[in-house]
């Protein structure tokens, strides 16, 4: 059975989703989880594009063990040298360089001839190879390129040292039968193709990214480039969880598998959601909230008799916890710690005490505590920014004929400060009071609410995006009282802004 390499580009192409940019610490957190997930290559960023990406690549290369760490670079000398500088202290490293091969791109974007593009691709491949042994080349917009010219370029860059050649469906134009035929044709036409791994990078503009990637595997591709939750430019990329589980579930068809530890899929998906603020649709394959939910009476009857009647994947195999966690206000610290360990969390004594106190308060407010509730508490408490501001108290007066009024108490470096403000609604009043206390000039870019679990006593989750002086941050808060959750999210974002100011 072949092992297909998983090249994860969540931190590079995935981050190009509008609003999904991550700072260095957030990228490092995701990279460490990707290592636990078992991806083979992490494309950590585009070193030349920004100082933040350069630093993220350097930091991830120094702190993340296991996967090969990769930087993207255009077929330009300055890009490749920047990638090398970011990667030079990384033990397992790769430079991924690219140049367009389609006449559409060459004529309208690059304004160069085919001959010039070929020459530059060869020169830059040799330059990259002079720095690292592992170099990948991508002929951008390959699926709209002339097949003979495409094969000429690929053969030349392999001769120049490429150990991986990646075939991108850059604009999601291809369909599976066509894309599979392209990979097959390349294997037949390119004399030295056996000296390189064939990779594919499919976009989802027609909803075919996963299907195209699987068609490529059937025709000899040995690496798939993908992202967590399928995030990325425009309609996104091939979804890592979908392609991995398709290969594992249908080994009879593909005779191939990956090195992915599938039990880490759900945790990775949720982490990326929390950091990017991009939620997964409920009906999303593998990681959606409804992926293992069954409402139909016929389906339920079949499942009770034999799970395989309507489930082709065991929820546990992707880390999906579908049962209720039986913990309540009478549960002790030992039981709580044991459950955290089952969920895969190892907290310090200080972190455990803090989360346990929040758990006990939550247990007094709602009847059932779910795994998702506990993970939300951990995300809120353990990964939060250093507290410059902390919420002490909040009270709201509101009604049909009552102007919404919020009274907020916040602990700051100057002590506890309280403020009362009115607004168009309770959240608006609360945010005005917090803004007045903290004297912030930040702009609210996004405000999102969702219930983490079901029921009228569900834990509510609020995610906000704030911007101040060109710096944008996301804040997260969770509580059974949605106004309190909104206040926590706003204060969490303000703490992140304050932390960034100290770094400058």
Pick the more confident residue, 304 or 364. 364
- Alpha-carbon distance of 450 to 468, in angstroms, equals 25
Give the pLDDT score at 366: 65
pLDDT at 325 over 60: no
Structure-block tokens of residue 337: 């710690």
- Alpha-carbon distance of 257 to 177, in angstroms, equals 21
DSSP 443: E
Indicate if 267 and 399 belong to the same structural domain. Answer: no
Alpha-carbon separation of residue 346 from 228, 342, 411, 471, 479 (angstroms):
23, 10, 29, 32, 23
Q: How confident is the model at residue 297 (pLDDT cuts 50, 70, 90)?
A: very low
- Alpha-carbon distance of 221 to 205, in angstroms, equals 21
CB 408 within 8 A of CB 430: yes
Side-chain-facing half-sphere of 148: CA atoms under 13 Å: 0
Structure-block tokens of residue 195: 């000296």
Is residue 359 a part of any domain in this protein? Answer: no
- Alpha-carbon distance of 458 to 367, in angstroms, equals 9
Q: Which residues of 225-258 are buried (b: 16+ CB within 10 A; e: fewer)?
A: bbbbbbbbbeebbbbbbbbbbbbbeeeeebebeb
Nearby residues of 184 by Cβ (< 8 Å), 6 or more positions away: 219, 220
Mean pLDDT score, 288-302: 62
Alpha-carbon dihedral sign for residues 96, 99, 105, 109: positive
CB 30 within 8 A of CB 10: yes
Is residue 158 a part of any domain in this protein? Answer: yes
Is residue 283 a part of any domain in this protein? Answer: no
Q: 122-144 pLDDT, tens per residue?
A: 999 999 999 999 999 999 999 99
Indicate if 61 and 203 belong to the same structural domain. Answer: yes
Is residue 370 a part of any domain in this protein? Answer: no
Mapping DSSP to helix (H, G, I), strand (E, B) and coil, where does residue 223 land? strand
Q: 404-440 pLDDT, tens per residue?
A: 999 999 999 889 999 999 999 999 999 999 999 999 8
**pTM of the predicted model, to two decimals?**
0.73
Mean pLDDT score, 447-468: 80
pLDDT at 5 over 80: yes
Q: 334-347 pLDDT, tens per residue?
A: 777 877 776 667 78
Mapping DSSP to helix (H, G, I), strand (E, B) and coil, where does residue 89 land? coil
Q: What is the CATH number of the domain that holds 221?
A: 3.20.20.70
Is residue 81 a part of any domain in this protein? Answer: yes
Give the pLDDT score at 178: 98
Give the pLDDT score at 328: 65
Pick the more confident residue, 219 or 336. 219
Indicate if 272 and 401 belong to the same structural domain. Answer: no
Indicate if 169 and 36 belong to the same structural domain. Answer: yes
Structure-block tokens of residue 98: 């690219």
The residues that bridge with 409 in the sheet, in sequence order, are 393, 418
Q: Which long-range contacts link 47-53 to residues 24+ away (Cβ below 8 Å)?
A: 47/71, 47/72, 47/73, 47/79, 47/82, 47/83, 47/85, 47/86, 47/87, 48/73, 48/74, 48/76, 48/78, 48/79, 48/82, 48/83, 52/23, 52/24
Q: How confident is the model at residue 471 (pLDDT cuts 50, 70, 90)?
A: confident
How many domains does the chain contain in total? 2
Pick the more confident residue, 198 or 456. 198
Mean pLDDT score, 163-190: 98
Indicate if 394 and 266 belong to the same structural domain. Answer: no
- Alpha-carbon distance of 480 to 457, in angstroms, equals 6
Out of 252, 276, 300, a domain closes at 276
Structure-block tokens of residue 104: 């559409």
Mean pLDDT score, 263-287: 92
Q: What is the CATH number of the domain that holds 414?
A: 3.30.160.270
Q: 348-377 pLDDT, tens per residue?
A: 888 888 888 888 887 777 666 666 677 677
Q: How confident is the model at residue 324 (pLDDT cuts 50, 70, 90)?
A: very low
Could you list the residue range(s) of the whole structural domain that residue 205 is in? Answer: 2-276
Nearby residues of 31 by Cβ (< 8 Å), 6 or more positions away: 11, 42, 44, 60, 63, 64
Give the pLDDT score at 484: 94
Mean pLDDT score, 444-473: 81
Out of 256, 276, 296, a domain closes at 276
For the chain, helix, strand, coil in percent to 5 are 45, 20, 30
Helix axes 265-276, 24-37, angle to 10 degrees: 170
Give the pLDDT score at 171: 97
Nearest C-alpha neighbor of 489 from the set 471, 467, 468, 464: 464
The residues that bridge with 225 in the sheet, in sequence order, are 7, 201
Is residue 247 a part of any domain in this protein? Answer: yes
Residue given tokens 């945790």 in the structure block = 267
Query: Could you tell me if residue 262 is left (phi over 0), alpha (psi between -120 and 50 degrees) or otherwise beta?
Result: alpha
Indicate if 259 and 122 belong to the same structural domain. Answer: yes
Is residue 383 a part of any domain in this protein? Answer: no
Give the pLDDT score at 231: 96
Out of 276, 294, 315, a domain closes at 276
Is residue 130 a part of any domain in this protein? Answer: yes
- Alpha-carbon distance of 171 to 173, in angstroms, equals 5
pLDDT at 38 over 80: yes
């Amino acid at each position: 059975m072949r092992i297909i390499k998983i090249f994860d580009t969540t931190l590079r192409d995935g981050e190009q989703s509008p609003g999904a940019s991550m700072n260095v610490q957030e990228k490092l957190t995701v990279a460490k989880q990707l290592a636990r997930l078992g991806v083979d290559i992490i494309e950590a960023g585009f070193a030349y594009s920004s100082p933040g990406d350069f630093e993220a690549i350097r930091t991830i290369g120094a702190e993340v063990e296991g996967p090969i760490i990769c930087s993207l670079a255009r077929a330009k000398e300055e890009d490749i040298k920047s990638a090398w500088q970011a990667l030079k202290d990384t033990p397992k490293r790769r430079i991924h360089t690219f140049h367009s091969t389609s006449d559409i791109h060459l004529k309208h974007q690059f304004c160069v001839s085919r001959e010039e593009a070929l020459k530059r691709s060869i020169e830059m491949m040799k330059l990259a190879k002079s720095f690292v042994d592992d170099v990948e080349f991508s002929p951008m917009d390959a699926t709209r390129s002339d097949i003979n010219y495409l094969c000429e370029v690929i053969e030349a860059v392999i001769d120049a040292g490429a150990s991986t050649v990646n075939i991108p469906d850059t604009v999601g134009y291809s369909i599976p039968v066509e894309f599979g035929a392209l990979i097959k044709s390349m294997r037949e036409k390119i004399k030295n193709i056996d000296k390189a791994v064939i990779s594919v990078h499919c976009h989802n503009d027609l909803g075919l990214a996963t299907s195209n990637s699987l068609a490529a595997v059937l025709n000899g591709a040995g690496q798939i480039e993908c992202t967590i939750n399928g995030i990325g430019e425009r309609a996104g990329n091939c979804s890592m969880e979908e392609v991995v589980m398709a290969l594992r579930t249908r080994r009879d068809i593909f005779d191939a598998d990956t090195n992915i530890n599938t039990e880490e899929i759900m945790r990775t998906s949720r982490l990326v959601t929390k950091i990017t603020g991009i939620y997964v649709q409920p009906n999303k394959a593998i990681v959606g909230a409804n992926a293992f939910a069954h409402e139909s009476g016929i389906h339920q009857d079949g499942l009770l008799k034999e799970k395989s009647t309507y489930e082709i994947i065991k929820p546990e195999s992707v880390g999906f916890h579908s049962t209720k966690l039986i913990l309540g206000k009478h549960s002790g610290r030992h039981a709580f710690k044991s459950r955290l360990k089952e969920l895969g969390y190892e907290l310090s004594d200080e972190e455990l005490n803090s989360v346990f106190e929040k758990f006990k308060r939550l247990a007094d407010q709602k009847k059932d505590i779910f795994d998702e509730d506990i993970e939300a508490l951990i995300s809120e408490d353990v990964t939060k920014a250093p507290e410059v501001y902390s919420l002490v108290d909040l009270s709201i007066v509101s009604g049909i004929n009552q102007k919404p009024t919020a009274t907020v108490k916040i602990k700051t470096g100057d002590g506890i400060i309280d403020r009362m403000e009115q607004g168009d609604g309770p959240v608006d009043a609360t945010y005005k009071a917090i803004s007045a206390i903290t004297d912030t000039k930040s702009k609210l870019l996004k405000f999102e609410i969702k219930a983490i679990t079901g029921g009228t006593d569900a834990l509510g989750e609020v995610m906000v995006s704030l911007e101040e002086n060109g710096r944008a941050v996301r804040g997260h808060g969770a509580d059974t009282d949605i106004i309190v959750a909104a206040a926590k999210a706003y204060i969490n974002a303000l703490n992140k802004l304050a932390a960034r100011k100290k770094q400058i």
